[in-house]
Chain A
Amino acid sequence: MPFITDHILSWVTFLPLAGAVLLWTVVRREGPARWLALGVALADFVLSLHLWFHFDAASGVDQFVEHAAWLADGRIAYRMGMDGISLMLVMLTTFLGPLVILSTWRAITERVAEFMGFLLLLQAAMLGTFFARDMLLFYVFWEAMLIPMYFIIGVWGGQRRLYAAVKFFIFTMVGSVFMLVGILWLYFQAGSMDLAAFLSLHLPRAAQLWLFAAFFLAFAIKVPLWPLHTWLPDAHVEAPTAGSVILAGVLLKMGTYGMLRFAMPLFPEAVTAFAPAVSVLAVIGIIYGALVALVQPDVKKLVAYSSVSHLGFAVLGLFSLTPLGVAGSLYQMLAHGLSTGALFLLVGVIYERRHTREIAEFGGLAHGMPRYATLFLVTTLASIGLPGLAGFVAEFMILFGTFNSGTLAHGRLLAVLAATGVVLGAIYMLWMYQRVFLGRRDNPKNEGLADLNGRELVVILPLVLFMFWLGVRPGLVLDRVEASIARVLAPLGVEGAAPAGHGHGALEAPAADLPAGQGQFVFRNAEMR
C-alpha cells in the first residue's frame, strides 16, 4: 500500500490523533469508545511494525523521511525521519499503547471517551516528538504532550490531582521555555529550523555552554534528574494507572531522548565540559532515588522513586560519552519502560481491588493471588536487573561504559558508586515484595481478592515476555541502534564512535572479516549472527 507506506511516519503519528478526534466528536458512548481506542492503538502498533521490518539497520541515517514546506518559505518545515534510536522508542510507545488502553477497561468509568481521546492524543504527540526532524515541529509535539497528560492527571487523578497536575505542568513548562529560547537563537543562526542545519553550525564555546544549559534544563526536568525530580512522585501517585504507565513508560524517556538527539550532538564542547557535573548528578539520583524508595509507605511512590534511580542510570550512560554507555542508556530506556510500566500496571491491579496502595495494608497476597504474585516477582526482578531479564543488559552496558569512559573524569569511581544502586534496588524492591506478598494474610480485607483475570493477563504477559526477550537477545535492539548511535555521537568525536579501533568498529559487520575454517569451532561465526 504505497498510499500508506510512502508516508508511514505521518500515518503512525496521526492515526491516534484521528482516533482522538473521533472520540471527542462522534463516538461518545463508553463501550464503543473503548473498543475504538483499542482498535486505533492496535492499528498504530501494526503500522509501526512496518517500520521495524523495513528499517535498514546498517544505516544510521534517518529513514522513511518526509518533508513538506510549512512556514517561512520552507525554512520551517514538516520534516519527519526515523533512525534506530527513534525506532526503538517508537516501538515502545506503540507497543505500550494498546496495553495501556486495555488496562483502563474497568478502571476508568467516567468520561471514557474523553479519557481515551487524551491517551491517543498523548500517543500521537509522543510519536511526533520521536519523528520530528525540524526543531519547531519538535517543539510543537513536545509541548503538545503536556496538555493531555495535564488533563489525565488533573481530571482522572487521585485526591491531590490538581496539585500534582499543576506541579507537573509548571515544572515541565519552565524547562521548555528556556529550550524554546535556545531553539529560536539557533534558528536565527542557522536560518532554518532543520535539525541538520543546526547540526552543521559551528558554535563558539561560550554560546554552546549557554545553549546546552537551556536545552539540558528542559530535558533534565523531564527525565527527571536529581534534584529536579520532585514533580515525579506526586504526578505518579495522583495519576490514574494508565497515566502512570505512559508517564514512566515513555514520557520520561523524552528527557533522555532529547539529550541524546539534541543536547549532545548540537553542543559537543559543552557536553564535554558539563559531563562530569551531570554524571555526578546522575549518580546522586541513582543512590538518592533508591534510598528514598526504601522508606516509602506507598507502593506507587516507591516505584516512582525507583524510576528516579533507574533514569539516573540512563543519564549516566549518556554522559559516559562512550558508545557502549549510550547504547546501554537507550537500552535502559526500553527496559525501564517495560519493567516500570508493568509495575505500575500491577500496582493498578491491586488498587482496583483494594483502593489503597499503602504497603502496610497488604501482606500475604501471594496466598490468594499466585499468578499476580508470580508476575509481580518477575517484574520486580527485571527492575532490579537480574541477568536474563532486560534491566541487566542495560545496567551492565551503562556501568561498563562509564567504567571505561576515557572522557569522563572519575568514571570508574562513578561507576562503582552507581553500582551500589543495583544493591539498593534489590533491597527496596524485595523488601516491598516481602511486605506485600509474603507472610501471613493478616488483614481480612485482603481475603477473597480475585487473581488476575484474562484481560489483565493479556495486558501484563506481553510486557513480561519482552522483559525476557530483551534480556536474552539484546541483539534485536543493539544491532539496529549501533549505526545510529555512532552517527549521533560523531560530532562529539568520541573514541570508538567512528569506525576505527581494532577493526571491529561500529559500522562494519563484525563477523565478515574473520578467517573462516580455522578449526572446527570459531567463536562467533557468521551463521550464528
Chain B
Amino acid sequence: MEAFLFWSCGALMVLGGVMMVLQRSAVVAALWLVFAFIAASGVFAVLHAPFLAIMQVLVYAGAIMVLFLFVIMMLQGPVMEGERKRMALPLWPAAAIPPLAVLVLVGAWVSQRTPEPLRTALPDGFGGPRDVAAALLGRYLLAFELISVVLLVAIVGALALGHGERKAS
C-alpha cells in the first residue's frame, strides 16, 4: 500500500512537473504546477509527514500558486499567450544534455548506495503538528526566528518594489 501510494504520487508529481515545463501558456503551466504540488502533498503523507502534507496544499498550492496566477492574470498579454518563438532546434541537445547528465550521474550515485527500506518504527505522532511544533519552537527556535526575518524582509522588499513602481508611474 505504502509503495503504491508512493509511486503513484511520485509519478503524478513528475507528470505535473513535465507538463508544466512543456506548456506554452503560463496559466496552464501554473495549473500543472498546482497539480504537481498536490501530488507532492501525497508524497509527504506517505513519508509520515502529515503536517507537511497539509501545509504543502495550504501554503504552496493554496497561497503561493495563487499569487503566481494573480500576477499572470494581472500582466496578461504575452504572459498569457506564452512564448511566441520556440527555442532553435540545434540548441535543444545543448540545453538538454547537462540536466540529463546530472540526472544520470545522480542516478548512478544513488543506485550505488545500499538500499535501506524506509523506517517504519516511528514514534507516536511523528510529523504531526505537536511534534513539528516542539522541534520548531525548541531546538530550532533560531531557524524559526530566521524564517520570520526572511519573511519580514520579503514583505518589506515587495512593498518597496510596489511603492517605487507607483511613484514611477
Determine whether A and B are in direct contact in the complex, meaning some CB atoms lie less than 8 angstroms apart. no
